Structure 1
Amino acid sequence: MRIGQTSFIVFVSKFAKAALGFVATIYFARVLGAEILGYYALILALVAWLELGGKIGISSAITKRLSEGEEQSAYFTAGAIAIGILAAVLSVGVIVFRDAVNDYVGVEAAVFVVFLLVLKLVHSLLTAVLQGEHLVHIYGLLDPLKTGSRAVIQIGLVFAGFGLTGMIVGKGVGILIASLVALVFVSVTLARPSTEHFRSLFDYAKYSWLGNLESRSFNDVDIVILGALVSPALVGIYSVAWSIAKFLTVFGTAVKATLFPELSVADAEGDSETVSALVSDALTYGGLVIIPGLFGAILLGDRLLLLYGSEFVQGTAVLGVLIVATLARGYQKQLVNVLNGIDRPDVAFRVNAVAIVANVVLNVVLIVWLGWLGAAIATALSATIGLSLSLRELHRLVAFDIPYGELARQLSAAVVMAAIVFGGQNAIEATGILEQNVVILVLLVAVGAGTYFTTLFTISRRFRSTVVANSPVRIPLVS
């Protein structure tokens, strides 16, 4: 397996980021309530969509061209100029239409949107460079730094009584700190780009932008539509359920980030065997954490949401469906990542176009029909459609085997885990000690995780070999 220790470093950093965000969100939910979290989620969703317009695939193109190793400074400068112009245009647009922005969110939000938009575009430029320069481990370490600094500042400002304003300012400062650190590691410099450099970036971006749009659609289109149809409190509860579901994607995201430059190099060298092996690795480990997470959510979802407050427990069903969505989406992202890595953004474009249309249409129809649960179902269905299509398209371009045996072993380990957790939960509840929810939840999660990985380590030779090969210390009995 070529994912190796770099992928593990990225995973640990993203896990730390997600864990910090998880703890911080619990504090905000308990102090501010679901309604304020709903306003915050809508502001972030608007910023995310505008950020997408400010990149239009250029950041992905920068990563791709820099990863090829030629004229890196010129490509960086061309990308920075393009993103800077778009940032200025979008910021002016938000100010001009500030009344519509404020009316949609429900609070004075236009200035907040511009503040976060500019910072996020700068950050996206710098992280694109880090990935393109094969500094994926540095890129990964920025996440916990950004989230940690953001969480500390937000908690301090919320504690001081600044509420929603404190949340926004803390978010922005966290992005700024991470961007300054990224700047230290960026080795490219400014250089005069030619027309060819701009053309090369846009030739790639004209296809890859839809991949970013599809990603944004998967993450936020449901929240954006819910914002127009349900109360801010329900949006807040839904966003919390989403944050938990996304927590489970950290390992798959680390695998994806690590594989892209490897795929790009292998494709440039015409090494089809390595590309096939990397596809197999991606499918083997893309759902490593999400599969047991789904079983865990079914058994412990209500207890998990109770951490945020009693009003959040009504999102238990939504949480389960969203984790199904992230599972299908996780595999789809791995496959589309391969398409982009082998320089076939045109194929990825077609896959993403179908997924976007399906997501938007299904969300509108099912939210009107079923309410907020319909949003989760629509997201899961559109992710499944995207997965099926990406699998079919990639099979036409790359010869690879789907690791059915490994996936079956992961599922089997998850079933064993679920049985142990279910028995443990019943045993605890039989004692009548129900008020210590945090202690019970932590205990059951720890037992479940230990059971899952121990079982998988025992029954899967491939997983066992991967752990041994990438362990920094010798593992007795197996190594």
Structure 2
Amino acid sequence: MDLAKSITKLFGAKLLSSIISFVGLAFFARELGASELGTFFLFQAAVGILKLPANFGINGALEKRISGSNQPGIFLSTAIFLKFLPLTLISIAIFAFREVINEYVGTTVGVSLIAGLIAAEAYQMVMHLLRGELDVSRSADLVLLRRMLWIAFGVTSISILNYKANGLIYAWILATVCAFISGIYLKSTSTGYPSWSKARSLFSFAKFDVISGAGSVLFNWLDVLIIGLVLSQAEVGAYETAWRLASVTILLGIAVRNSMFPQVSVWHNEGNWDKISSTVSNMITASLFFVIPSFVGVAILSEELLGLIFGEEFVLASTALSILVAQKMFQAINQVIGRTLQATGSADLAAYAMIGGALVNIMLNIILVPTYGLEGAALATFFSYLCMTTIRVHFFKRYISMSPDWTGLGWLTLSSAAMGLAVWVATLVVVPNSLFKLATVVSVGVTVYFVVVLASERMRARAVKQIMDI
């Protein structure tokens, strides 16, 4: 497996899909408004929470076991079998409580929620299967396909069929189903017969992976769920839009995380700890490549980004956006360390750290959201990630000796500071009160950042090597 090539392919797919999603989200925000968009986000939050008991860590366990097994078909069939009962029970529960769910979300979603949950679980299983086969690049293709189809179906449902939030929901389900079907054709593993011994093997890993999965779900959706309970759907729409805008900064880190797991798992099986250590150090620097400058830029332009791109009613989340981008610095480190712990057989340690972070997240959201609104939700996420990252780094250093890439990190910080100064000066010359002027200011910052980064011979050599590898 070519790790550099896989990371770049996955990052490229995620970047392109995020650009498409970014444009689509801006269109949906302007066409539907924050309240209708908030309804769609609450539907996604409900699917995200329900995926936790439906999956119970099986997807992550499947990826781990397939990456180091000569019987992948039996593991795949066993994983499918294990998912059947929980999905059935959850679907029955959704149907029984559909009126309560509809009132909370703000539209009729009973059957749609069942369909969305099943589609999402099937899609995620195929994604983990492809990664377990060390075919990360094809999983990247599915990410891009799903995002493109969602935007295409969503625009059609709103512009032609005149649907509102339900149109986005139907488009999301249909896009997920299409991506799953495509994944079926891309996979190379054939199904076999379920095995109790393989089920025990899956559960031995899943029991810890489910904790990490639970924490991930809580970090992604708990704040949205609480905002939906104590505030308005419009505030849900504004906050989640800010969250997704902030998440663009972590795309390279996500590509690193998803590409590392199967390869690090192989190195762990071979006992190649030096390779793991050096790779983790480099991958942390790579994960922060866009996050550090984004924090500086968003701190200066948060109101303009939300107001000009999505609409004035989204500006109320501008402070939350700055906090969320700052939080991504901890997330970038956390996801590299966490996946390394999981891939090296220390999923329990990653899970314990996730428990600590999740508990902090729950308590702070309950305390801060009713009092401080969207800023409180963002602060809860910030401090909970700080807690979890600190714990994971502590566990990691107990087993793997690693020196951070201080030279690379220092140069990224210096480049970001130069970029921030350039952006501030540019706003004095060109007031960013239109999309064109905002794009001009951002272009100045991006140009200065890359010029300063590439002024370092070491960073320039890395960039050239990356291109040559690909």
SS at match of 2:310: coil
Residues 137-176 of structure 1, C-alpha deviation per residue, up to 9 Å, x if partnerless? Answer: 1101211111011101101111121111210111111111
- Superposed displacement of residue 296, structure 1: 1.0
Matched, 1:231 2:264: no
Q: Is the 8 A contact 1:57 1:209 kept in 2?
A: yes
Identical columns (%): 25
- Superposed displacement of residue 107, structure 1: 2.2
Q: Of 380, 395, 398, which aligns to 1:396?
A: 398
Q: Is the 8 A contact 1:20 1:144 kept in 2?
A: no
Structure 1 counterpart of 2:315:
313
Matched, 1:469 2:458: no
Q: How does 1:130-141 map to 2 (within 5 A)?
A: 130-141=130-141
- Superposed displacement of residue 446, structure 1: 2.2
Q: Is the 8 A contact 2:4 2:469 kept in 1?
A: no
Q: Is the 8 A contact 2:40 2:166 kept in 1?
A: no
Structure 2 counterpart of 1:90:
90
Q: What stretches of structure 1 of length at least 5 have no aligned partner?
A: 475-479
Q: Distance in 2 between matches of 1:219 and 1:327?
A: 16
Report the residue type matching 2:236 in the other structure: V
Structure 1 counterpart of 2:65:
65
Q: Is the 8 A contact 2:267 2:273 kept in 1?
A: yes
Q: Is the 8 A contact 2:5 2:469 kept in 1?
A: no
Matched, 1:111 2:116: no
Matched, 1:414 2:410: no
Structure 2 counterpart of 1:348:
350
Q: Distance in 2 between matches of 1:470 and 1:370?
A: 44
Structure 2 counterpart of 1:443:
440
TM-score w.r.t. the length of structure 1 is 0.95
Matched, 1:153 2:150: no
Residues 329-381 of structure 1, C-alpha deviation per residue, up to 9 Å, x if partnerless? Answer: 22111111110010111111111110110110111111122122101011001
Q: Distance in 2 between matches of 1:473 and 1:51?
A: 37
- Superposed displacement of residue 212, structure 1: 1.0
- Superposed displacement of residue 96, structure 1: 1.1
Q: Is the 8 A contact 2:107 2:166 kept in 1?
A: no
Matched, 1:335 2:325: no
Q: Distance in 1 between matches of 2:180 and 2:437?
A: 39
Structure 1 counterpart of 2:303:
302
Aligned length: 468
Q: How does 1:162-173 map to 2 (within 5 A)?
A: 162-173=163-174
TM-score w.r.t. the length of structure 2 is 0.97
Q: Distance in 2 between matches of 1:329 and 1:363?
A: 18
Q: Of 394, 414, 423, which aligns to 2:425?
A: 423
Residues 19-57 of structure 1, C-alpha deviation per residue, up to 9 Å, x if partnerless? Answer: 111111111111110000111111100101111221111
- Superposed displacement of residue 103, structure 1: 2.3
- Superposed displacement of residue 213, structure 1: 1.0
Q: Distance in 1 between matches of 2:407 and 2:84?
A: 48
Q: What stretches of structure 2 of length at least 5 have no aligned partner?
A: none
Report the residue type matching 1:454 in the other structure: V
Structure 2 counterpart of 1:454:
451
SS at match of 1:249: helix
Structure 2 counterpart of 1:245:
246
Q: Distance in 2 between matches of 1:406 and 1:123?
A: 37
Report the residue type matching 1:428 in the other structure: V
Residues 178-225 of structure 1, C-alpha deviation per residue, up to 9 Å, x if partnerless? Answer: 111111111111111321100000000000111111111111110011
SS at match of 1:162: coil
Report the residue type matching 2:278 in the other structure: A
- Superposed displacement of residue 473, structure 1: 9.3
